[in-house]
Chain A
């Protein structure tokens, strides 16, 4: 699996730079002075024990939370506090730990919502099916079909998402995010609750997305085997602080990381 990375992949410039980020909810300090960057075309993993601040970090990146301290630079420019909509417009898409899809809607319609931001024609034009609106829908449908083909979910186009098994719902969640054609893709535990075979499939899809579309990926994952196999660089959080950062080999040998995961006698 790791072989996929050695295929002449070229890591580019820094696309996302987080400096000295601190975030607190009342007395709870979720993140404390965390600094790291994400380079173009890389797969960047965030790992750490429960409550380490991983999901908070993703929420900072796509504008759900605004840090009390620190700066976020995106695509070379310093970013002011943005909301989630603005982050999406800027090309940041994400999937969620506990799947955020419309359960009663078909797979196709769910993925179509990923194209929402790119639709130009107004509500009325769509309601009356004006030729321009129809043309646009066809274009978007084609983009969605590309994603369906890519993630191999042709058999479920018309199936309501709620009727699909969990592993497939996760795949649809990824499809919806991909339909946005994001520059930066945030994956929150894409493999949680999956069996070995589903995990392998998901790994392959993540590597393929990264390879074929050149999408930069930041992912949170608990399965260490997966993280070490597919990521280019790994950052380790513990109690809101960064305790390790580097390639999978470097992180694996880092004493602070080993202590955080295996526990240490005080």
Chain B
């Protein structure tokens, strides 16, 4: 790992190119074969790209938009911009033109490096209004042969230009000029409220976060990571970019978004990161396949998963577990857990993290019980995703661990979590007002999360500070907690709970079309699509059963007993980022949803048995249409605390 003297990302790259020139730096699967670039080659590629950019007029302080799936050349573009003292601004590849346009204008972007035709087309659309955009450079030439505009160029051509036009020492001189306090990257926060803000992060902040994380989990150059999460997300920047450049480990880019499962199995990463929804989807797929399996396999799976649930996590944590139980677990490891880890591509995983949203306890327990060292961390874009980490062997289901090395965390009187560290963002781009609002005079960043330290000094996050409310009878109401309980059921994809200042809790449900569709097929229930399937009485019965189980569990906790769900409905459409109902990281925009479906909430609380709704939706190709349905509303059994034990 690099020491403190190498203090910007371009310098880190130069160091790897000397120290481990032949060690694999990045891989990409192309035409079915994994192609590898070592650190020496990466350094040469970045150099050519940086020279080419400089030749096109990219100057110190310029921003460079980067849009696309995780591709080696897009990662190189980040370093190339940083070599020249520029600021890479990665954006979400599935953002619509209007969203890109906002960022292009806000950051005053002149250069964009994108993956393919799809992104070029979007930028051409933006360019009519975001007139500052001067150059569009693309990685994949497919379909772009006939684009004759002079400002559209291939990265090949730019690198070629760079190789021929500039002196070899040009880049060294540029890199020398870079300072650790320069802004290394700008990330736009998805913004659950208001317009996105550009979070400016310096080289020194991101490098501090990367060094701390690498030391904490003893990451070395021999580790492998699969990079499949959006480049615009802070987590990918920390794990696939900053930490890789810190420790020198290998980054693997999947072939396409759909092949991630296969690519996981082929690469067998040792270091893995995923937001809870990915773990949830994986588990859903496993459960679907188990339900389709023969009776013997299914029986074996359920028997040994029961064993794992009881003792698996304790064995992983090195706690005292009896020999007989260990033997049974070992047998399960041979028959079920090992093959299951292999199918998930997690056989070699040494450290796995999840963050981004609270993970359902049952989901978390599942992965740990089959022997995957899944841990939680806590952070945000503003804190470089580096605030709290869980230590090996000291894992709790409902905490996010201890403050990471070099980070100071304290709890405000209001219950809000405050953070101070050397891995903190510099400012919101051109928004001194917003910066002053979140960083106080003592230098503490206000996270907006409510939490507290437990007896072992581990931080426990309950919910967003602004979401935590009270029921009409004064009991605490944490909607996220309830929703996570519901979302653990493989049949439920999304849930939105309501209850603040109301006499009871009600909920919207999105079914998981994959899991419920499969369930319906096995029962010969015909359906034409999501809307149709969602309103089937059988599906309502299925979901009601899930909600009742969640209620039974809630009833066990005296503080949350009153949060049981009394009535629910299944929405007629899936909540979708294109309709602004979810953020790009797929968190529910609670306020927006509540406003948009106000009539449904009224129906839930007025005791109606059904409600008609019509909604405008945007399709993937940009067209829009209407979905309408008569939604059924159902009552759910709730439990008194005393009787809950039996039902649970």
Chain A interfacial positions (CB closer than 8 Å to B): 7-8, 141-142, 145-146, 148-150, 152, 154-155, 157-158, 197, 200, 208, 211-212
The minimal Cβ–Cβ distance linking A234 to chain B, given in whole angstroms, is 23
In the bound complex, do residue B31 and residue A142 qualify as a contact, i.e. CB atoms below 8 Å apart? yes
Interface string of B26-39 (1 = CB under 8 A from A): 00001111000000
B413 within 8 A of A: no
11 extra interchain contacts, Cβ-Cβ under 8 A, other than A146-B31, A150-B142? A8-B146, A141-B32, A148-B31, A149-B31, A152-B256, A154-B258, A157-B32, A197-B621, A208-B142, A211-B145, A211-B146
Which one of B30, B32, B145, B621 contacts A212 once the chains associate, using CB atoms below 8 Å? B145
Interface residues of B in 602-626 (CB under 8 A from A): 620-621
Interface contact B621-A154, CB-CB below 8 Å: no
Contacts of B146 in A (CB 8 A): 7-8, 211
B256 proximity list for chain A (CB < 8 A): 152, 154-155
**B262 / chain A contacts, CB cutoff of 8 Å:** 155, 158
B318 at interface, CB cutoff 8 A: no
**Beta-carbon contacts of B241-274 to A below 8 Å, as 1s and 0s?**
0000000000000011011001000000000000
Which residues of chain B are near A211, meaning CB under 8 Å? 143, 145-146
Please report the C-alpha to C-alpha distance between residue A7 and residue B142 in the assembled complex, in whole angstroms. 15
Q: Which residues of B contact A8 (CB under 8 A)?
A: 146
A154 interface neighbour in B142, B259, B620, Cβ under 8 Å = B259
User: In the assembled complex, which residues on chain A have CB atoms less than 8 Å from the CB atom of B621?
Assistant: 197, 200
Q: Interface centre among B30, B146, B259, by most A CB within 10 Å?
A: B146
* Secondary structure type dominating chain B contacts: loop
Q: Please, how many angstroms separate the alpha-carbon atoms of A211 and B142 in the complex?
A: 11
- Tell me the complex Cα distance, A24–B193, Å: 71
Q: How far is the CA of A148 from the CA of B259 in the complex (A)?
A: 13
Check B145 against A145 for contact (C-beta < 8 Å).
no
For the complex, give the distance between the alpha carbons of A212 and B262 in Å. Answer: 29
Q: How far is the CB of A112 from chain B (nearest CB, A)?
A: 12
The contact sample of 16 A-B pairs, CB cut-off 8 A, is A7-B146, A145-B31, A148-B32, A149-B31, A152-B256, A154-B32, A154-B258, A154-B259, A155-B255, A155-B259, A157-B32, A200-B621, A208-B143, A211-B143, A211-B145, A212-B145
Which of chain A's residues have a CB closer than 8 A to the CB of B620? 197
Name the distance in Å between B254's Cβ and chain A's nearest Cβ.
Answer: 9
**Contacts of B142 on A, CB cut-off 8 Å?**
150, 208, 212
Chain A residues in 8 Å Cβ range of B145: 211-212
Shortest CB distance B71–A (Å): 14
| Alpha-carbon separation in the docked complex, A200 to B259 (Å) | 22
**Docked complex Cα distance between A190 and B60 (Å):** 52
B626 CB → nearest A CB, Å: 15
Nearest to A142 among chain B residues (CB) is B31
Q: Which of B20-57 contact A (CB under 8 A)?
A: 30-33
Q: Complex formed: what's the CA distance from A197 to B146 in Å?
A: 24
In the complex formed, the residue of A with least CB distance to B33 is A145
**Distance in angstroms between the alpha carbons of A110 and B142 in the assembled complex:** 25
CB neighbours (8 Å) of B31 from chain A are: 142, 145-146, 148-149
Task: With A7-B146, A208-B143, A212-B145 as known contacts, state yes or no: A145 contacts B32, CB within 8 Å.
Answer: yes
How long is the Cα–Cα vector from A149 to B146 in the complex, in angstroms?
20
Cα A112 to Cα B259 in complex, Å, equals 20
B306 CB to closest chain A CB, in angstroms?
31
Closest A residue, CB atoms, query B143? A208
Chain B residues with Cβ below 8 Å from A154 are 32, 255-256, 258-259
Q: With A and B bound together, what is the CA distance between A7 and B146 in angstroms? A: 6
Residue of A at shortest CB range from B32? Answer: A145
Please, how many angstroms separate the alpha-carbon atoms of A211 and B146 in the complex?
10
Residues of A within 8 A of B255 (CB): 154-155
Q: In angstroms, how far is the closest chain A Cβ from the Cβ of B147?
A: 9
- Which residues of chain B come closer than 8 Å to A212, judged between CB atoms? 142, 145
Interface residues of B in 220-234 (CB under 8 A from A): none
CA distance A247 to B255 in the complex (A): 40
Return the 4 tightest CB-CB contacts between A and B, nearest first: A155-B258, A7-B146, A145-B31, A155-B259
Distance of B226 from chain A, by nearest CB (Å) = 15
Kindly provide the distance from the CB of B381 to the nearest chain A CB, expressed in whole angstroms: 31
A157 and B261 CA atoms in complex are apart in Å by 13
Cβ distance B586 to chain A, nearest Cβ, rounded Å: 21
Question: What residues of B have a CB within 8 angstroms of the CB of A7 in the complex?
Answer: 146
Q: State the Cβ distance, A142 to closest chain B Cβ, in Å.
A: 6
Least Cβ distance of B186 to chain A in Å? 32
Interface centre among B32, B143, B258 (most CB of A within 10 A): B32
Q: In the complex, which residue of chain A has the Cβ closest to the Cβ of B254? A: A154
A148 proximity list for chain B (CB < 8 A): 31-32
- Name the interface residues of B142-163: CB closer than 8 Å to any CB of A: 142-143, 145-146
Cα A197 to Cα B255 in complex, Å, equals 23
Which residues in B have their C-beta under 8 angstroms from that of A208? Answer: 142-143
Q: Which residues of A contact B259 (CB under 8 A)?
A: 154-155
Chain B residues 130-148 with CB under 8 Å of chain A are: 142-143, 145-146
A197 and B143 alpha carbons, distance in the complex (Å): 19
Cα of A148 to Cα of B145 in the assembled complex, Å:
20
Smallest CB–CB gap between B68 and chain A, Å? 15
Q: Which of A7, A141, A150, A154 has its CB near the most chain B CB atoms (within 10 A)? A: A154
In whole Å, how far is B117's beta carbon from the nearest beta carbon of chain A?
10
- What is the bound-complex CA distance between A212 and B258, given in angstroms? 24
Residues of B within 8 Å of A155, CB to CB, are: 255-256, 258-259, 262
Q: Which residues of B contact A150 (CB under 8 A)?
A: 142
Residues of B with C-beta under 8 A to A142:
31
Q: Which residues of A contact B258 (CB under 8 A)?
A: 154-155
CB distance from B537 to the nearest CB of A (A): 26
- Residues on B with beta carbons closer than 8 Å to the beta carbon of A141: 32
How far is B619's CA from A197's CA once the two chains are assembled, in angstroms?
Answer: 10
Complex alpha-carbon distance, A197 and B529, angstroms = 14
Chain A: which residue is nearest B258 at the CB level? A155
Nearest neighbor of A155 in chain B, beta-carbon distance: B258
- Minimum C-beta distance from A162 to chain B (A): 15
Closest chain B residue, CB of each to CB of A4: B146
Residue of A nearest to B140 (CB): A149
Contacts of A157 in B (CB 8 A): 32
Distance (whole angstroms) from the CB of A106 to the closest CB of chain B? 13
Which residue in chain A gives the minimum CB-CB distance to B261?
Answer: A155
